């Protein structure tokens, strides 16, 4: 494909962990990429150098705090200005930490909902005209704990449940031109928090496939929903090895 023919995806939270793997998988599949980070600029620059060595002039770096809602349309505008089209939006960026009942503050509510629910909605709204023009697609990264409580993570779970509802509502509002779906991961990476929500031993024991997932599992599902699932919209695909089923 020539540059003008290649599909273009905007991926938030793309500098590291699952987001970086999503970026690599989409790039290998032929997408040009606008890749967003908040603080992890060094990691994003290294990822972009890697992808540019494989296909020059195929990436754009974007840095912003997604809690600043006024900055969100500019991310979409910069992507379209660089590549002249937008085919996909992957709302991967997320904030995760515990909020035990009795300790929850309004600031925690605002922070978790801003990153996990508000930013994906307003990015989708800004991207909608361009995605309609290309008959594009949105994939939101939710969580299996949008559907069942994770102990001590009440506000996080509520924010991801809001994103799950947004997925359905956006699919209804943007059809038939734009498909909107979600991937709900189980445990695919060990948490970076000192206090773990789940131990690795519990994940393995209570997952039907008896193993932790890997970021490639999520990235493969994202690519399928964006590119191949042409009659799928408004759906949340659990990619959790059967963790949602319980012990």
The domains of the chain, with CATH numbers, are 8-236 (3.40.50.720)
- Name every residue whose Cβ is closer than 8 Å to that of residue 237 and which is 6 or more positions away in sequence: 181, 182, 183, 184, 221, 225
pLDDT of residue 194: 54
- Beta-bridge partner residues of 32: 8
Q: Please state, as a whole number, how many other Cβ atoms lie within 10 Å of the Cβ of residue 106.
A: 7
CA dist., res. 54 & res. 73, Å (int)? 29
- Cα 222 to Cα 22, 82, 155, 218: the distances in Å are 7, 23, 25, 6
CA dist., res. 22 & res. 13, Å (int)? 10
Active site annotation includes 31: no
Q: Which of 31, 130, 145, 156 is catalytic?
A: 156
Block mean pLDDT (10 aa), the chain, length 247: 81 97 98 97 98 97 97 98 97 96 98 98 98 98 95 96 98 98 87 63 84 93 98 97 79
**Residue written as token pair 């990691």:** 43
pLDDT of residue 3: 63
Residue among 203, 237, 204, 234 at smallest CA distance from 220: 237
pLDDT of residue 156: 97
pLDDT of residue 124: 98
């Amino acid at each position: 494909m020539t540059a003008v023919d290649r599909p273009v995806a905007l991926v938030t939270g793309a500098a590291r962990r699952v987001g970086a793997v999503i970026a690599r998988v989409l790039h290998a599949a032929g997408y040009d990429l606008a890749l967003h980070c908040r603080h992890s600029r060094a990691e994003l620059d290294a990822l972009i150098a890697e992808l540019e060595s494989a296909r020059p002039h195929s990436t754009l770096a974007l840095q912003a705090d997604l809690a600043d809602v006024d900055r969100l349309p500019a991310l979409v505008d910069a992507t379209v200005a660089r590549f002249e089209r937008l085919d996909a939006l992957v709302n991967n960026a997320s904030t995760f930490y515990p909020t035990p009942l009795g300790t929850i503050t309004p600031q925690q509510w605002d922070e978790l909902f801003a990153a996990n629910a508000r930013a994906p909605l307003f990015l989708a709204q800004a991207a909608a005209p361009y995605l309609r023009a290309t008959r594009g697609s949105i994939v939101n990264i939710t969580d299996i704990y949008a559907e069942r409580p994770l102990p001590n993570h009440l506000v996080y779970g509520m924010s991801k449940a809001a994103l799950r509802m947004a997925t359905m509502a956006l699919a209804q509002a943007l059809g038939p031109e734009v498909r909107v779906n979600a991937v709900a991961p189980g445990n695919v990476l060990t948490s970076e928090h000192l206090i773990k929500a789940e131990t690795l031993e519990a994940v393995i024991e209570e997952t039907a496939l008896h193993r932790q997932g890997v970021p490639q599992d999520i990235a493969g599902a994202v690519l399928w929903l964006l590119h191949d699932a042409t009659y799928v919209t408004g759906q949340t695909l659990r990619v959790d090895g059967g963790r949602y089923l319980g012990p």
